[in-house]
A and B are shown apart, each in its own frame.
Chain A
């Protein structure tokens, strides 16, 4: 199990939080998601055999939330 924190550009509204949560929840291998509205961050825990941090980053970018920086541990 890996952890990744993605720093995003400022999130505009709580709907953005739900949108990100709903989309990531559907991705296979993602075990935990926390979208932090006030710090513009997404904390995730995922199964690296099923999904990679890059896949999550791409999904976020496609959704319209480009990743400014990320930390995978």
Chain B
């Protein structure tokens, strides 16, 4: 039964109850009884139908208990009770749906952000079409105040966009040619033309919505337990009611016992908290994938961070090229040509720097080999290049002189990653690359500690000096450097074996195995990359670490809220049952208190939607690794 029909029947039976009061005051006893019976039948029929449907689906429901109680009340001539109980039950159900809407509203407001139409340029003509009719490859025009309807790359124009629907970050970003834009971003200022490459259900926004919807339907351990409990509890209450009748021979007390023992608030106590918690996370850019994950996240005591792309911005820059044998640009050109095949962010940084210097990269690398976690080896113009870390140099039998080593260490101690570039077995130069620490990292880690994280550890493939410098700046408990992906997995496993509950935060690609090993895997979403969104338990959509500290404290608050609700629901039933057995609580008043307890449980969960972690303070200072 939907909310509208429930409200209609509630209104009719409410009016009938008022008429019955009038008839009672007018002394028309027979008419009053008739009105009460009609009211009971009108309100009781949908309840009985639902009870029957639930039985057909092999579940015991609260409606079944109410139906038994109402039939019993009619049977013994307690028409006031039967009419009041059915009315209160329906009224409660109506209020429940309305109040539940509040916990659902965070998701609803996200869904409503989806664009409806788009302006596309087809065959030289501009036309406005439904967003469902936009096809891949369409050129989409977005003007000020409009929503981007697709995912794609800007092919012309420049604009300021609000991407809060995707990232939870409301500060607008400026984008121009070759930048990616996402569906449901709002163009605040400017004009862009976008080449659509993801449309409809394939857009990042559509996938986020689907993930959040699925997360809200995924049950937590507590929820699963309560569901099982409710299935045993309801028939148990029927049996106990029979026992109450056998002992007291009081049919009224028995029926009241039956109604007040309903597990309504108990069944709803966990899911409403979870839904409100997930909604809050989504609005703040932290996608928490389900109730069970919410519970696990709230229990972690150790956080392991990858460095590059997680603690740092992931946008490294070449700061210095030191050569030992040839000209700077010449070395950069051949190294960049070799790195063209690399997907590693440091390799890409070198290629980017070469392009920035307008160097022409024409030679294709031959016999190229990527040595994971160490670097690459390739032939360019008949020369063999080995580019990477010390370990790679050693394994390739390339000597590192004292002079080269001293220079590399000096660069590393000032926060750079030193890339050794050897040509034909001799070190030709060192390329220094630096990646800035995220501005919010310090405050986010402080917040995590303030909220109960016992230890924070860094695992990185980067060199020891840079890792230690970052570790010192961010006050880590331990720093492990020069690790391969499998070393990270082993470290996470070791921490788990030592009894810690571990969350691993990474950028979702080379850290994927460690993320999968941890109790909670957390990925930086970068506006929703496929791998991170699919594999991690928690995704930070705006790549902001403070979203993690928010997600953690939110998870704790959600678990707390869930416990409060369960405690309150059980407490209410226990007190009510005691009241019934002591003869202090009656059918209608019992139902009223019962319904109020359901509403209170929902309203307690609604508090979570406004939850904001107060422990942490926003940090304005930007600690940046110095390059010199």
Partner of A64, one of B2, B97, B103, B132: B2
B53, CB-defined interface residue at 8 Å? yes
Partner of A66, one of B2, B59, B201, B275: B2
Given contacts A9-B3, A10-B2, A12-B3, contact A19 B216 (CB under 8 A): no
CA of A11 to CA of B216, assembled, Å: 15
Interface size class of A (residues with CB under 8 A): 20 to 34
A-B contacts counted at CB < 8 A amount to: 64
Q: Is A39 within 8 A of B111, CB to CB? A: yes
Q: How far is the CB of B201 from chain A (nearest CB, A)?
A: 6
Q: Is A38 within 8 A of B4, CB to CB? A: no
Task: Collect the chain B residues with CB atoms within 8 Å of residue A71's CB.
Answer: 132
Majority SS at the chain B contact face:
helix
A22, CB-defined interface residue at 8 Å? yes
Partner of B132, one of A15, A18, A73: A73
Q: Is A73 within 8 A of B200, CB to CB? A: yes
Q: Is B57 within 8 A of A73, CB to CB? A: no
CA of A71 to CA of B116, assembled, Å: 11
Partner of B217, one of A13, A36, A64: A36
Partner of A37, one of B3, B201, B217: B217
Task: Collect the chain A residues with CB atoms within 8 Å of residue B4's CB.
Answer: 9
CA of A16 to CA of B46, assembled, Å: 13
Partner of A73, one of B5, B54, B61, B201: B201
Task: Collect the chain A residues with CB atoms within 8 Å of residue B100's CB.
Answer: 10
Q: How far is the CB of A44 from chain B (nearest CB, A)?
A: 13
Partner of A22, one of B3, B50, B57: B57
B493, CB-defined interface residue at 8 Å? no
Task: Collect the chain A residues with CB atoms within 8 Å of residue B1's CB.
Answer: 12, 16, 64
Q: How far is the CB of A40 from chain B (nearest CB, A)?
A: 7
CA of A37 to CA of B6, assembled, Å: 17
Partner of A19, one of B57, B104, B132: B57
Given contacts A41-B213, A71-B132, contact A15 B104 (CB under 8 A): no
**Residues of chain A whose beta carbon lies under 8 Å from any beta carbon of chain B:** 3, 8-13, 15-16, 18-19, 22, 34, 36-41, 64-66, 71-73
15 CB < 8 A contacts A-B: A9-B4, A12-B1, A12-B93, A12-B97, A13-B61, A18-B59, A22-B57, A36-B217, A38-B107, A38-B216, A38-B217, A38-B275, A41-B213, A64-B1, A72-B132
